[in-house]
Amino acid sequence: MFTLPPLPWAENALEPVISANTISFHYGKHHKTYVDNLNNLVKGTDYENATLEKIINDTAGKPDKAGLFNNAAQVWNHTFYWNGLRGNGGGKPSGKVAQMIDAAFGGYDNFKKELSATSVSQFGSGWGWLAVEGGKLKIMKTPNAEPPFIKGATPLLTIDVWEHAYYLDYQNRRPDYVNAVIDKLLNWDFAAENLGRA
């Protein structure tokens, strides 16, 4: 059975950008509900002992498996999102990721503008992503529960732009939330780890 993975930091670790109150609902209610729903859906099926990635890849694009896909993908996405954030994070990365950002976007400022604009412009619920595909960095947005790997891109970092991610702290001001995450919370060590495995 699937379990809710522990957060990599205390619930108040992302304050003041994301409040402990938001984390408490987002992790303790939303993320947990995806885990509970997934466990109910896999009970007695071949997927009981499968990995999340296997379930997600098998069920992507299959309307009759939408419940399994959405819940498995949202469990995966949220764990990835938590690990991609940290207190005193954000700003300019260094090392290989920084070089690849310069190569792909012509510098950090352009990268930041594009990641922000793409994440803000996702219509309705979804995710903004920094991903790597064919050895090159790319910025993507995906609707609802979709992770980039079902389209062949390996994610490095993500920004949850579902309203539940920011509404308690920012109400309708999605751009303020997105920019604060980019400036103060992105965990570039996690991005470098993901790049190393890509």
Rounded-to-integer distance, Cα 20 and Cα 10, Å: 8
With contacts defined by CB under 5 A, how many residues of the chain interact with Fe ion?
3
Select from 36-44, 115-123, 145-153, 164-172 the region that touches Fe ion (CB under 5 A): 164-172
Which neighbouring-strand residues pair with 127?
142, 160
DSSP state of 9: S
Q: Based on CB atoms, which residue is closest to Fe ion, 107 or 175? A: 175
Half-sphere exposure of 163 (CA within 13 A, CB side): 5
Nearest residue to 178 via CA among 102, 97, 90: 90
Nearer to Fe ion by Cβ, of 80 and 162: the residue is 162
27 lies in the binding site for Fe ion (CB under 5 A): no
Write down the least CB distance from residue 127 to Fe ion, Å. Answer: 9
Q: Which of 162, 170, 177, 190 binds Fe ion (CB under 5 A)?
A: 162
Alpha helices in 9-123, H assignment, sequence order? 20-25, 32-42, 52-59, 66-83, 95-105, 108-120
Question: Which listed range, 65-73, 105-113, 129-137, 154-162, lies at the site for Fe ion (CB under 5 A)?
Answer: 154-162
Closest separation between CB of residue 54 and Fe ion, Å?
22
The stretch near Fe ion (CB under 5 A) out of 34-42, 61-69, 148-156, 165-173 is 165-173
Instruction: Check residue 160 for interaction with Fe ion (CB under 5 A).
Output: yes
Instruction: For residue 76, state whether it binds Fe ion (rule: CB under 5 A).
Output: no
Choice between 111 and 166, CB closer to Fe ion: 166
For residues 143 and 126, the answer to whether their CB atoms sit within 8 Å is yes
Cα distance between residue 180 and residue 82, in whole Å: 15
Of 33, 7, 5, 32, nearest to 20 by C-alpha is 7
In the complex, the residues that contact Fe ion under the rule CB under 5 A are: 160, 162, 165
